Structure 1
Amino acid sequence: MAIVFSRWRKAAFILLCVSLAIVSMGSAAHAQDARWRITKERWSESDEKAWQDFVAALGAADCWTFDQCIKSPANPYRHTDPKTRFYVDCADMPYVLRAYFAWKNGLPFAWQTAMQSADGPGGDIRYSSYGNVVVARDSVPRTANGVSATPILHALVNTVSTAMFRRNALADDPVMFSDTYSPRLDREAIVPGTIAYDVNGHASLVWRVESGGRVLIFSSHPDHSLSRSFLGKEFLRTGPELGSIFQKFRPIEVAGATRASNGALVGGRIVAASNAEIPDFSLEQYQGSPAGDPHRWRSASWVWNGENLDFYTYLRSRLSAGELEYRPVEELSAMMQSLCFDLRSRKQAVEISLGRGIQNISPPSRLPDNIYGTDGVWELYSTPSRDARLKTGFKEMYDLVVEFIKMDMVDAPRLKYDGNDLAGDLLAAYRAQNAACDISYVNSAGRKVELSIDTIIGRLYDLSFDPYQCVERRWGASGAERATCRDGAEKTRWYEAQQYLRNQIDRTYDVDMGYTVEELERGPWGLRTGRGVEEGPEVDIRAYLEGLAPRRTASGEIALPPATP
């Protein structure tokens, strides 16, 4: 039986009167100006290049919600819009942007409207173990006068979820085709507008691939805030049945249409390119290199220029303009800048929740069935998934710094560093970026509290994801800083019981987590218990770098700890 996506969101729609939608603010005259007339049979190479430029400009813009970005100077079509407000979450954004661009350029657009879990009946199509199958499709009608674009964009928002991306990369049905396909892993294929799908329930768009192979992404969230980051290990690589990580929109064309006197295409049907007809279609991200069986993706090897690599290093090597080289000081600076963007985005998300007054509401007696994948107030205003990705980013930065130190010790050729004190230079870069990152919040007494990346690292596992708690706890305050928090005994108890969940950086969407506070307190704790873990991984880069000097041996070499996380 097909499952229509809007069902699981109804509670959130009822709660938030504006909904996750594109809300028309205009008159009938404005609506008449917003006609979607399809004048082109297919997306040409120049259209695809214009799409890439469009996404790249929005990604680089200084805007913090999807609506701000669409209304910003980065959008060349903004002056042709009717009066609208754009509200989208992470899954909606790729579809709505692609549809918006198609509308403005007279291009055809089609989309999946329903999916069925390959797991069998009763499963959650957003987190199905064996992926989903397309069971219904729709497309923009082709008429001489065109159709109003705003209702179509609205329908997309009410239809799309991350289940759209959870499809088998090998599927090739000519009728119930998937909207996206799996691309090659190179600079010609992974371009702005490519989708990055995290099977833990998140979707982003690539907006830049740097010369060093780093992939910059941006995404929207249920609270409508926008974040920018780089693609890292938080995007899990899985088998082809789940569709991770990279996807691109499948080429489509209008067949059998007639052309009206005004140039609009009328009638006809949507035909999609098969996998074999797409020049950059590839199963490389599942097969490995050299190519193997995509179904045996766990044992795939990754060899580049004769060197065995892990997948993420291989990806950077493939996407680098030339040989992959690590410039450690620049790498650390770039990662800290990206994390600063993430923290600024988190600040906006917390402020949206505070603005709705959620912190003044008594919490429910139980957590949601799963804190990472739910609906209603928790979906809109909590931050467990966002915080887990943030923690993963800090851990990845810490691990990379440790790896740079190791590479420097053996004079690894990939490490491009000409100095004689890498730890000192990394520490200087850390301090410079820490000073440059301006983070603050307004406490419950109305006073501004200054933070920094270094401050956040020290309290990373204290940042509360719970929207029912005070702003001080949302930012992990303690001591005098937390004195202005107005939470009572009940919320304090919940905060303390959630410590183990805050320690966890892995998002477990398939684990029951609907516990009472008493059940959280009792334990047991562990990744598969749904109650969290006893300790989070090490992330304190400053302490690590400052501690290297005392660990220098008599010969001047750095004595690394026996086991580095």
Structure 2
Amino acid sequence: MTRLAAFAAVVCLLCASCRDDAPPTADRDPSCPEVRRIEPPLTNVRPEHERLEYWLSRAEPYGALDTPLLAPEEVRRHVLALRQPVDGEPLGQADLSAPVDDAALAAQVSERLDYLRAKLSDGSLVDAKGEALGTDALPPFKQPNELELLQQWRLSEALLPLRCGPYSEGLYHVPVDLDFDRNRCSTIRPGEVVQVLARWPNGLFLARTAYALGWVDDEDLSPPLSAESLQRALSAPEPQPFTRQALLTEAFSLLGAPYGWGGEGGGYDCSRFLLELFGRFGIDLPRHSARQAKAGTFSIDVSRVQDLNEKRLLLEAAARRGIVLLHFPGHIMLYLGTTEEGVPMVMHAFSEYLTPCEGTELETVNRVDRVAISDLSLGEGSSRTDFLSRITHITVIGKTPGPALAANAVLRPSVPMARPEGACRDSQSSAIFPSPRRPHAAQPLRVIATTERDPGIAALVLYGPNGERVDAEERLLDGPPFSRFVEVAQPTPGKWTAVLGEGDRTLACHRFVVTSRAPRGTRSQAVGAAWTTTRQWSRSTENLYSAFIEQLFRNPVGGDVTWTRLQEVIGDPARNLLYDYRLQGEDARLSLEPDCADLPYFLRAYFAWKLGLPFAYRACSRGRKDQPPVCEPAVFSNLDPEGAATDVGAFRTFIRRVAGTVHSSSPRTRPDEENTDFYPLRLSRTAIRPGTVFADPYGHVLVVARWKPQALDDYGVLIGADAQPDGTVGRRRFWRGSFLFTPKTDVVGAGFKGWRPVVLDSEAQALEIATNTELRKAGRVKAWSDAQYRGTADDFYSAMEGMINPRALDPVRMQTSLVDALEESVQRRLSSVQNGEDFMKSQGYGTIDMPSGAALFLTSGPWEDYSTPSRDMRLLISIDAVTSFANAVAAHPDRFGIRDTERDAVVAQVKRALAEELGKRTFQYTRSDGSAWTLTLEDLIGRSPAMEMAYNPNDCAEIRWGAREGTEERATCARRAPEGQRRRMEKYRDWFATRERPH
């Protein structure tokens, strides 16, 4: 918003709705007066709603009432941030002791005078009699060529109007309402400091307070203050702690105070109410509502949110982060919370609202004219609509957004940092890593910062050898952990400084040298370790590993993505934070092609090699129907000799050895086993970080890649990366159809698992691997936990869905997201079936041997590569999840923010949405004669029984997509699986019908 637009909003709207023209009272029925005065309490407000104790009890679920929402140093930084200029002036209040920016001031005054002259000329502003200003009153509205400049600070000794323009009387809209003086930008209260800037030709003074600029008469101003008196006057008393209890207590002390447009008569308009309220806590808000909406810790634009239930859910999510302000053009309110019935309520200073008159198009202006409590239904059915519908911005003063709101939150400006001159260090919890390991001028520089906890409002800043800040775009990852990085294409040789923080708050600092030339790379000995261990795994390197994984698979943002091989991802400098980190051009010399079991090992080993970290793995049994997989006590590691001539060659040999040892049962060991590469984690976002491994009960393995946050118009997603037997690598969203889970641990340990910590004993040159007992005691992210297995599978998925979408989801949107995921599964199956068709054709349609029993799902050779029993089992589970979702909504409406009275209507809406989505989503497969056949998802769901026997690549494509015998679709089928295989498939069919795969 430009300064002119901002000022126009102030003059036209300030903090009350603009008055509508209304027919004369004589033409109206007595039941529909033009104006009605409303006495307390307002409609829908019960006596307890006007008591402090009620709202203190209602606020308890948001957090401890007496815990500061901002610590004193955070309040100070917040105020400093609001002093940063926006459109040439501070977003918040000005520092009256700071030098005036003469050019910015002149531009601000000029724009305002231009605006006022235009409004006076077209008759939009008139005097108290409704008449245009005379020609003798207009000259002051033109900026003079010369001004008598002053630098004086005085005190207001009475209520003093701060005029929007150089005119001492009021200006009004037509028809004139003397309560709404559009030339009163604010009212200066006794004792406030006024900085007098210049004497205007008509005798008024151009002046400013900390929160507003305008014109004043000096009649009620003190003599100029001395420097000492000014310092005393500007020194604010020690503010009280900013807690919910204190804020609500102060707010209720103003309940019932009179309204005053622009603060007239010492009253409160909406923004003055909040300015004074937050000022008691040392938080200097702007004067006017539009800027107050931008002055929180963060704000969210909800102007496009039409669903009122969604808005209510957003209000509640915001309230859990701090004190909430609600804004629509011309008005701003303090959110109190909801009643027991779930009705959101506010406290605000306001003048009026409209109500429609029954049986006519006329409306009544209801005058409140005080600080009052109301719900947000005010104005419902009127031409202005209700307050809840009109809300365009939610503003929070308190904590940063958190996962429920982060995707759409706009953070306040950060306070600039200065280059540290003294000590410069980082820590395990907040660390900075330059890349490559020895930066030089001939290679782009990348600096990565990681923090275990949300750092709040902070920035990663680079200072070059000359001490100047280097302009570099900061790119943020989602976390947790919370990481960001900057890049410099051609770094200048010399000593650099990287700092993460805000203002005088330094979270991490790191100094490093950029050389003018690339240092020579290192080569391993002809006989020696796969690589030398130069670092230990720690909290900081684990955080960096998560950042590495997230950035590797982060883009493009939406949907399923597939790459032909892992090397395509690793070899992309934009994705790989450690590209050429070892300065040997190593990434161009690798060819990494893992299958699903290898993928987590390849990624972890690659990262460990890059940074010189220890890496260990074990040989494990595959397990049987009644026997879980078990790993050997002995470990293989990077300390084992490889005998390669080069560093890259040694890693290539090592990773081949890893691929020949590990398999899909390696991560599926029971949770209490000690001799394992992995251990079970607790169910939390901080524990299930990028790089975490997920093992399903039947052999598929994924790597957690990203927590995509929940947005206003989109659902949150937990994204995993996986590999296929053909070497392709892709991304999958978390849901029942892709992350299969069972809490049973008798023969398998499924679920989310972390890498067991490995430490090198440098003296003994041996690896020490953490035990479960040690991990239980470790706490934090590394804590061993069997929480995943304590409930049912439904409990597991419910807990995960709550973390992925911490704000209650619109059930129709959630149903659509499940259909999206099903469609993605179908698209992946299309590729698999076609790959099988292409292979069969290339082999002359020779029969592929079919394994017996559980080996059907896990074997090697062509059956493993081209059959789809595991994929089809997941597809059938996906179909169940999609078609049963409406029942879940009916059983648990609270999970979706639905009131009991709305449940049946919402369930019906979900069912209609499902039918519509399934009917319009289509896909095509290629029949045996090469022709395309189109199906809908609705068709596919109707074929669920046929899909229980559709996994055999010896069958034609038509059978594999469930075409019924005797139909036109099936007519082109040219082959069938052998009779013996079909009999065994019928025998195994119950596994698919019950969705219970054998172990």
How would you bin the TM-score normalised by the shorter chain? 0.5 to 0.7
Inter-partner Cα distance in structure 1 for 2:847 and 2:882: 35
Partner of 2:836: 353
Inter-partner Cα distance in structure 2 for 1:400 and 1:352: 32
2:852 is the counterpart of 1:368 = yes
2:568 is the counterpart of 1:63 = no
Cα-to-partner distance string for 1:421-456 (whole Å, 9 max, x where unaligned): 424543564367557856322222222333332232
1:89 partner SS: coil
Match of 1:403 among 888, 913, 916: 888
Partner of 2:995: 506
Where do 5+ consecutive residues of structure 1 fail to align? 1-29, 117-123, 258-266, 289-299, 303-308, 511-565
Inter-partner Cα distance in structure 2 for 1:36 and 1:216: 32
Cα-to-partner distance string for 1:289-323 (whole Å, 9 max, x where unaligned): xxxxxxxxxxx599xxxxxx834324444x3575x
Structure 1 residues 429 and 47: alpha-carbon distance in aligned structure 2, compared to 1, 3 A threshold: farther
Amino acid at match of 1:159: T
Alignment of 1:112-261 (within 5 A): 112=618, 114-115=619-620, 124-125=622-623, 129-141=627-639, 146=647, 148-172=650-674, 177-209=675-707, 215-226=718-729, 228-232=732-736, 234-239=740-745, 242-256=748-762
Q: Answer 1 or 2: which has greater strand percent.
A: 2
Structure 1 residues 37 and 65: alpha-carbon distance in aligned structure 2, compared to 1, 3 A threshold: same
Partner of 1:46: 540
C-alpha RMSD over aligned residues: 3.7
Partner of 1:91: 597
Kept in 2, the 8 Å contact 1:368–1:374? The answer is no
Inter-partner Cα distance in structure 1 for 2:745 and 2:626: 13
2:953 is the counterpart of 1:447 = no
Partner of 1:484: 972
1:334 partner SS: helix
Cα-to-partner distance string for 1:307-366 (whole Å, 9 max, x where unaligned): xx834324444x3575x6343122112222222222222222223222322684343676
Identical columns (%): 25
Cα-to-partner distance string for 1:155-203 (whole Å, 9 max, x where unaligned): 222211122123243334xxxx421112121111011221111222222
Structure 1 residues 59 and 440: alpha-carbon distance in aligned structure 2, compared to 1, 3 A threshold: farther
| Largest Rg, 1 or 2 | 2
Kept in 2, the 8 Å contact 1:91–1:161? The answer is yes
Amino acid at match of 1:216: I
Cα-to-partner distance string for 1:131-165 (whole Å, 9 max, x where unaligned): 41423311113899746211222222221112212
Amino acid at match of 1:331: M
1:271 partner SS: strand
2:826 is the counterpart of 1:343 = yes
Partner of 1:285: 787
Kept in 2, the 8 Å contact 1:127–1:199? The answer is no
2:955 is the counterpart of 1:474 = no
State the Cα distance separating 1:71 from its structure 2 match.
4.6
2:754 partner SS: strand
Where do 5+ consecutive residues of structure 2 fail to align? 1-520, 556-560, 581-585, 711-715
Kept in 2, the 8 Å contact 1:208–1:217? The answer is yes
State the Cα distance separating 1:387 from its structure 2 match.
0.7
Inter-partner Cα distance in structure 1 for 2:983 and 2:629: 37
Structure 1 residues 433 and 43: alpha-carbon distance in aligned structure 2, compared to 1, 3 A threshold: farther
2:660 partner SS: helix
Amino acid at match of 2:575: A
Structure 1 residues 103 and 454: alpha-carbon distance in aligned structure 2, compared to 1, 3 A threshold: farther
1:440 partner SS: strand
Structure 1 residues 226 and 145: alpha-carbon distance in aligned structure 2, compared to 1, 3 A threshold: closer
Inter-partner Cα distance in structure 2 for 1:353 and 1:187: 38
Structure 1 residues 162 and 364: alpha-carbon distance in aligned structure 2, compared to 1, 3 A threshold: closer
Cα-to-partner distance string for 1:375-419 (whole Å, 9 max, x where unaligned): 322122111011101111211222222221344xxxx33222587
Alignment of 1:354-433 (within 5 A): 354-357=837-840, 360-363=844-847, 367-370=851-854, 371-407=856-892, 412-417=893-898, 421-423=905-907, 425-427=909-911, 429-430=913-914, 433=917
Cα-to-partner distance string for 1:243-273 (whole Å, 9 max, x where unaligned): 321211112122216xxxxxxxxx8222223
TM-score (norm 1): 0.67
Inter-partner Cα distance in structure 2 for 1:55 and 1:505: 36
Inter-partner Cα distance in structure 2 for 1:476 and 1:36: 50
1:217 partner SS: strand
Kept in 1, the 8 Å contact 2:850–2:981? The answer is no
Amino acid at match of 1:44: S
Structure 1 residues 438 and 110: alpha-carbon distance in aligned structure 2, compared to 1, 3 A threshold: farther
Kept in 2, the 8 Å contact 1:192–1:207? The answer is yes
The higher-RCO structure (CA 8 Å, 6+ apart) is 1
Q: Answer 1 or 2: which has greater helix percent.
A: 1
Partner of 2:770: 273
2:827 is the counterpart of 1:330 = no
